[in-house]
Amino acid sequence: MGPSIVFFEFMDRSAWTVFGWEIRKCMRSGSVGTVSGRLLRCSSSRIGLDGLEVDPPLRLEVSRAYYPMFGRLMPLEVRREGFYVRLHAPLPGAAPTILLNGIVMHRITGVDPLSDARAKVRAAGVRKGSRVLDVCTGLGYTAIEEARAGASEVYTIEVSEEVLALAELNPFSRGLTDDKIRLVLGDASSVLEAFPDSYFDVIVHDPPRFHVAGELYSLEFYKLLYRLLRPGGRLFHYTGEPMRRRGRGHGPLVRGVIERLRAAGFRVLGYRRGAQGVAAVKPKRLL
């Protein structure tokens, strides 16, 4: 019997999220506003959310997100030994990203996380009717954009239940409830063994940084992606631009990714600067 797939049921509780910059703005003005469809009332000393009266935290950070719980606004974060993850909102009105052990999981310099996701989906060439594999869900922005681009099915895989729990409370992730999106909880290397050969038309591979998840940059993993992609199917692999020097080409990480993709059998189409990753295709004629 082959490996099983565990689907994660995404429950939409995102309307309860309040962002720190909204709280601070409301406290300064003493005004009444609406956050995620819920009424937020502020005075100089207390905050009320739909009638819930709470004492404001002693330290309010603009980039934080909060959730009303036990009569208080609790920060949306998970802490344990050697692990810390929270929602991080870079700008008022912008979609948040994930801050994992101090590392920001989306591009936020000169681009917002949603625009970043759209650029990746365009670089991957998702079309109407595409069956898409989305490796590393995070907050689900690329999976949501893939569904909006016309994909018939999107299988998106995330190893961290804590990250998915934060996504449930993120207003910008509620698109994960789309019926076309199948959210899988598990380690990608194990989960993907359950799929048959040439099952996907498009693969979007958006792993964390190399030192966090080096196995997702390995030749063995690329061979697995190659098996799952149909002949003529496209792959987009987000890499960023680490260690790039002006006028001297790509750094060693991007060069290594390109070399290993070729070794796995892909034909590399090139680096897509707008999406900061490598585009490749599985040849129609297999050697």
3-state secondary structure 168-191: HCCHHHHHHHCCCEEEEECCHHHH
Residues counted in the chain: 287
97 has a pLDDT exceeding 60: yes
d(CA 223, CA 235): 12
Q: Which amino acid is at 154?
A: V
| More confident of the two residues 227 and 214 | 227
Q: Please give the pLDDT value at position 69.
A: 80
Percent of the chain beyond pLDDT 70? 93
d(CA 76, CA 265): 42
Percent of the chain beyond pLDDT 90? 56
pLDDT digits (tens, 9 = 90+) for 103-160: 887 777 778 899 999 999 999 999 999 999 999 999 999 999 999 999 999 999 999 9
17 has a pLDDT exceeding 90: no
Q: Please give the pLDDT value at position 275.
A: 94
Q: Please give the pLDDT value at position 59.
A: 73
Q: Please give the pLDDT value at position 195.
A: 96
Q: Please give the pLDDT value at position 244.
A: 58
Q: What domains does the chain contain, in order, with CATH numbers? A: 18-75 (no CATH), 113-281 (3.40.50.150)
Residues 218-249: b if buried by 16+ CB within 10 A, e if exposed: eeebbbbbbbbbeeebbbbbbbeeeebeeeee
29 has a pLDDT exceeding 80: no
d(CA 192, CA 215): 14
* Single pTM value for the model: 0.90
Sheet holding 38-42, edge to edge: 32-35, 38-42, 47-49, 52-54
